[in-house]
Structure 1
C-alpha cells in the first residue's frame, strides 16, 4: 500500500464522513486499502473471479459494519481480518463443491502434488513461480495457508498476524514452521533454495 500523503484526510476523518453518509469518503477508504485486501485475497484463493468477488465482499462487509468499527485495531489490520474470514468461507465453499462433484482421485485438492507448469529443465519465470506457490498453498490446511499468506506474502509481523487471526503468537510461529516445511517438500523439486518460502 502506498503511503498516505500528509495532506490527505486521515482514516478517522474519512470514517467519520462515511458514517455521515458521504459515499466519496468511503470510496477513498476503498481506494486506500484495496491493494492490501487484494493481495491477501489472491494469496488465499489465487487470482481470478473468485478472488475478485471476495475482495468486493470484504468491502461490503466493512461498509455494513462501519458503526461497529471502533478503532481497536488499525484499519488495514481490521480489513485484512475481514478479507481472511471471507477467504476462508470461500475455501470452505470450494472444498464442498469439489466433494460434491469430484471423486477423491479427481479432486484437484486431493493429490499431494501436481505437474509443474514447465518442464524441469526449463527456467522458471516469475509467473510460473507464482503459479507453483499457489498450487502448493492448495495443499495446506486453511489455518496454515492463512499464516503463510499473512507472514510471508503480505509481510505482516508475527504479532500482527496473531492479532488478525486472533490466536497467540506461539500458535502463529508453530503453524508457520509446519507450513513452510510442507511447502519446502512440495516446491523443492521445482524451485531453487533461494525461491523457497523462508521463515
Structure 2
C-alpha cells in the first residue's frame, strides 16, 4: 500500500496506478460526504466521481498544505452545494431513495428493522436541513473533523461553525423526536 504523500507525488508525475490507489483509499469518505449532503440519489455517484476528476486536474498544483482527505472533503462539499443549487434552480424536489451500497456500511436491518427505520429517518432529516447547515453536520458529525478543520474547509469563522452545528442539531432533534 502506498503512503499518501508518496502516492500523491507519484500521481503528480503521471503514475496512473498511484492515482488509482489514492482514489481507492478515499472513495468511501468522498461518497459518504456527498451522500450526506445530497442523500442517496443517483446524482450522488456522479458528484463523487467528479470530485476525483477535479482532484486529477488539480493534482499538479496540490501543495499539501492540507491533508488530502481534507482537500477532497472541501471539493465534495463544494460540488454538493453546486448540485443543490442546480436542483433548486430546476425546481426539483429531493427523493429519499434507500441505498444498500457497501460504502454506507449499514448493518443488516432484517435483524433490527427499527434500526433501519431510524437510519432512514435520519437521512430524511438531514435532507431537510439547509445546505449550509448540512455541510457543517456532515463535516463535524459524519466525517469527524474538528471545529477548526471544518471552518478551514468551509472558509468560515469557527464561531459560525459552532452556531450552525448547534442550530442544525436542534432542528434534527425536533425532526427526529418521534423516533427518540
TM-score by length of 2: 0.85
Q: How does 1:49-64 map to 2 (within 5 A)?
A: 49-64=42-57
Aligned to 1:161: 150
Query: Bigger relative contact order, structure 1 or 2, given CA contacts below 8 A and separation 6+?
Result: 2
**How many residues end up aligned between the 2 structures?**
164
Decide which of 146, 154, 169 is 1:180's aligned counterpart: 169
5+ unaligned residues in a row in structure 2: which ranges?
Answer: 96-111
Larger Rg over CA atoms? 1
Give the TM-score normalised by structure 1. Answer: 0.77
CA distance, structure 2, for counterparts of residue 89 and residue 14 of structure 1: 29
Question: Are 1:15 and 2:4 counterparts?
Answer: no
Q: 2:124 aligns with which of 101, 122, 135?
A: 135
Offset at residue 124 of structure 1 (A): 5.9
Q: Among residues 68, 72, 93, which one is paired with 2:86 in the alignment? A: 93
Secondary structure at the aligned position of 1:65 is classed as helix
Q: Does 1:28 align with 2:17?
A: no
Unaligned runs of 5+ in 1: 1-7, 100-106, 110-122, 193-199
RMSD: 1.7
CA displacement, residues 40-73 of structure 1 (integer Å, 9 cap, x when unaligned): 1111111232111011000000000011110011
- List per-residue Cα deviations over 1:52-104 (Å, max 9, x = no partner): 101100000000001111001111100110000011111111122226xxxxx
